[in-house]
Structure 1
Amino acid sequence: MLKTGRNDACWCGSGKKYKNCHLAFDQRIENYEIMGEEVPDHKMIKTPAQIQGIREAGIVNNQILDIVGEHIKAGISTQEINNLVHENTIRLGGIPAPLNFEGFPKSVCTSINDVVCHGIPTPERILKDGDIINVDVTTILNGYYADASRMYCIGKVSEEAEKLVRVTKESVDLGLKEARAWGHLGDIGAVISEYIYANGFTVVREIGGHGVGLEFHEEPWVSHIGTRGTDMLLVPGMVFTIEPMVNAGKADVVQDSKDGWTIYTKDGSLSAQWEYTILITEDGPEVLAR
């Protein structure tokens, strides 16, 4: 990692000499690597300017989810949710990242009941009392990405659905507390999976969180099942999502063979997800989008 000369400008863009900026930081990471730790490279560590750009994208992303929360109710179609997201993203100066991403046809993912993720909005799917829905919004603002999702309970939902939505949110907040500088990604996965399974639910293994900020999906991949003290070292400047997908039944999932996107629980059980974009700092995690 130590490729910059001591008197060269620091790689972070601060304008300072490397020796007066990130040299000690990089040496600390290199020492962990020598001890056998998996460490991030500079591509996974955002500069202060990049962090500010992602933070601003996160503000817009949060505003869009707030607007969804104000309008979502029984009788609304998922296409109307898509329209709300698309129109307000543009109004606020952003671009909806999902639209045309690898062929995805809409501006937001709407995942209802047994849909784990990547649900495609349609005019035909009308929300009704008892539904639970995940609305997953990703915003590009001035070239920077922020990604977050929220669950919404429509009308009166079952006790199982209420518990699933609540426990999933609580697991994300527990994972957030473990997102400490010089800890490990495995710490996050461990506390999430322990809490989920203790409450009688399961964690989807195949789909995880991801780095984000300069692109929609970056390294590292973030598993929500882990072992403490393992996986990649967490260092200040890393930006990634925590977004466990939690099933009321078994963890197995299947993909819709027709649309190529929608992921369902294999056993038809309910699924829930909450997603934050977070920044690792020396003083603890900062939530950039939620």
Structure 2
Amino acid sequence: MITLKSAREIEAMDRAGAVLASIHKGLRELIKPGADMWEVEEYVRRRCKEENVLPLQIGVSGSIMDYPYATCCGLNDEVAHAFPRHYRLKEGDLLKVDMVLSEPLDKSAVDVSKLNFDNVAEMKQYTENYTGGLADSCWAYAVGTVSEEAAKLMAITKEALYLGIEQAVIGNRIGDIGAAIQSYAESHGYGVVRDLVGHGVGPTMHEEPMVPHYGTAGRGLRLREGMVLTIEPMINTGTWEIDTDPETGWAHKTLDGGLSCQYEHQFVITKDGPQILTSQGEERTY
């Protein structure tokens, strides 16, 4: 079922988005050659406890296991849902960090600083039943100086994100979003991942409608004021096809080993156009 969000619900998601954006901005200083990727997970966990927000990815049900971390950390050919781990980031790596957070909560209801994030079953009791404001955003980070190939992929993927958001206006259709992203990315010879898509948000992190990053203009569900969506194109240097880790059922990689990049914003459709709820600053820059 597709729900149009109230002003109260949008304000709650905006509060969540402000915290999430500030965490992404903080990661800019942390992600550099020689840093341990696990520090990304530790930083996000610390900020969650300080801001009293729930890391809503912990405990998400999977085909083999529930997701156990506050972040997804995709390195180079990893497309999405890869685990953070101990790995020394190298000059030229391309790292994507995705997270879903609640709005800041009243400590009388739940004191996040007292929760054990490593106890997935305990965390699931909080995250699975949460129905307040939440925000979802992925960002790509260049580790030191990246190759020309990686820099171009990052620029094209970010532009594709904003081209898709520009199509999210009242009266347009879902297909207009996907068509804008697909035509732009494919014009540069890139593959657009089709197995993973954007989606509605609220009261849980994955709601209808699904928002493919490919499609035909003028087709699909008509967009209405009050819809809150994510657009999160995953763009590959080679094929759009991906493979999934058979041991965990989570991490996806490009089928041909090529680089993959992703940027994601969450936004609400308003009469004045799309309003980004996870903005990190000046749009088309962050």
Please tell me whether the aligned partners of residues 132 and 152 of structure 1 are also in contact (alpha carbons under 8 angstroms): yes
Please tell me whether the aligned partners of residues 64 and 89 of structure 1 are also in contact (alpha carbons under 8 angstroms): no
1:122 corresponds to: 85
For 1:273-288, what aligned pairs fall within 5 Å after superposition?
A: 273-288=262-277
2:49 corresponds to: 90
1:156 corresponds to: 145
**Counterpart residue identity of residue 78, structure 2:** V
**Counterpart residue identity of residue 223, structure 1:** P
Please tell me whether the aligned partners of residues 108 and 121 of structure 1 are also in contact (alpha carbons under 8 angstroms): yes
2:247 corresponds to: 258
Structure 2: runs of 5+ lacking an equivalent: 106-131, 280-286
**Counterpart residue identity of residue 275, structure 1:** E
Distance 1:244 1:230 in 2: 19
* CA shift for structure 1 position 105: 1.1
1:104 corresponds to: 67
1:168 equivalenced with 2:157 (yes/no): yes
TM-score, with length taken from structure 2:
0.85
Higher relative contact order (CA 8 A, sep 6+): 2
2:208 corresponds to: 219
Q: Deviations over 1:146-188 (max 9, x none)?
A: 0011110011211111100110000011111111111111111
For 1:29-108, what aligned pairs fall within 5 Å after superposition?
A: 43-102=2-61, 103-108=66-71
Distance 1:202 1:108 in 2: 25
Distance 2:159 2:3 in 1: 27
Structure 1: runs of 5+ lacking an equivalent: 1-40
Q: Which has the larger radius of gyration?
A: 1
2:102 corresponds to: 140
Distance 2:37 2:252 in 1: 16
Please tell me whether the aligned partners of residues 44 and 220 of structure 1 are also in contact (alpha carbons under 8 angstroms): no
* CA shift for structure 1 position 213: 2.6
Distance 1:175 1:56 in 2: 23
**Counterpart residue identity of residue 101, structure 2:** T
Distance 1:210 1:80 in 2: 29
SS of the equivalent of 1:278 reads strand
TM-score, with length taken from structure 1:
0.84
Distance 1:250 1:151 in 2: 19
SS of the equivalent of 1:289 reads coil
**Counterpart residue identity of residue 53, structure 1:** A
* CA shift for structure 1 position 135: 0.6
SS of the equivalent of 1:95 reads coil
The two structures, once aligned, show a CA RMSD in angstroms of 1.0
Distance 1:231 1:145 in 2: 26
Structure 1 residues 66-75 or 280-289, which shifts more?
Answer: 66-75
